[in-house]
Amino acid sequence: MSIPRSRTNKQLAQYRPSATAAIVIYSSPEAISYTNLKTIIICNAHTSAVTYQIFHDDDGEVLDLDSALFYNVSIAANSTEIISLPDPGITISGYSVGSLGVRASVVDVLTFTLYGQEVTI
């Protein structure tokens, strides 16, 4: 295994879906070897419960049931969920192949925020 040249802890993405279709909100940049996703925060600013889906695709395929991590999970009105992932987190391949996608059942009410570590070898 190669020794990392750099590890950068950071907010990886923040997105509020404006459509109900699944969309990629994070792909490892081409210069990054891989990303360890550590925390996903979902905030529901709606007055009703909403469902969400989260997908992890690591081979350039589509965001669907085959890549679902969370599927039709309900989040209560005016609440926030924090998903903390055990070490090393979800590894997303670099070179723009791996991605994390989301979907919300209602537009413009959920905000997804991702935190993790980008690693360059």
pLDDT level of residue 14 (50, 70, 90 thresholds): very high
Global confidence as pTM: 0.89
> What pLDDT, on the 0 to 100 scale, is given for residue 2?
65
Domain ranges in the chain? 6-120
- pLDDT, average across residues 113-120: 91
List Cα–Cα distances, 98 to 69, 72, 76, 102, 107, in angstroms: 14, 22, 30, 14, 25
pLDDT digits (tens, 9 = 90+) for 49-94: 999 999 998 877 688 999 999 999 999 999 999 999 988 788 887 7
- Fold classification of 6-120 is Jelly Rolls (2.60.120)
